[in-house]
Amino acid sequence: MRPLTDEETKTFFEKLSKYIGENIKLLIDRPDGAYCFRLHNDRVFYVREELMKRAGNISRENLISLGTCFGKFTKAGKFRLHITALDFLAPYAKFKVWVKSSAEQQFLYGHHIMKSGLGRITENTPQYQGVIVYSMHDLPLGFGVAAKSTQECRHTDPMTIVAFHQADIGEYIRSEETLL
């Protein structure tokens, strides 16, 4: 367990800002205590500082997880967000996509979102913008990338993909083993 290096921080924050923009600083400057990001087993954990200090007692081999896991660094040095970060992305999301209840299950099984399943979308979403996916009851389901801008979405036919799937909460069941 160690703090992130400058380079890692840069990659990580770049990725994060695709979804929540400048709201990252709200994650770090919190009124209810000091929080920090820590790297352990190539994974980035977001954890309260007191808890992190206590967790220092536990040896590296025996420590499995602390706080919330945001994602992991691949061997190539890229950062990949995990579904476990959703709890912190959803409240600060800049751009959102709502899926109809008929397409909810589709998305939860790992499929992209078609125009036919699109319920609502934030105005002025640019193409390839990171978006958080919600159900029509405002239940966060996952996140992805907008395949079309809001303008383009209006005029496409129903079977075109409007948002690419990246992660969904179905992964808690589908890939519990690889989650961490």
Site residues (vs other proteins, CB under 8 A): 46-48, 50-51, 54-55, 57-59, 62-69, 84, 87, 104, 108, 135, 139-141, 169-170, 172-173, 176-177, 179-180
CB count within 10 Å of CB 87 equals 11
Beta carbon of residue 102, minimum distance to other proteins (angstroms, whole number): 13
Beta carbon of residue 72, minimum distance to other proteins (angstroms, whole number): 13
Strands of the sheet with 118-121, listed across from one edge? 113-114, 161-168, 140-146, 130-135, 96-99, 118-121
Beta carbon of residue 173, minimum distance to other proteins (angstroms, whole number): 6
Nearer Cβ to other proteins (14/87): 87
Nearer Cβ to other proteins (88/95): 88
**How many Cα atoms sit within 13 Å of 35 on the Cβ side?**
17
Rounded Cα gap, residues 176 and 128, in angstroms: 28
Token pair in block for residue 7: 């380079």
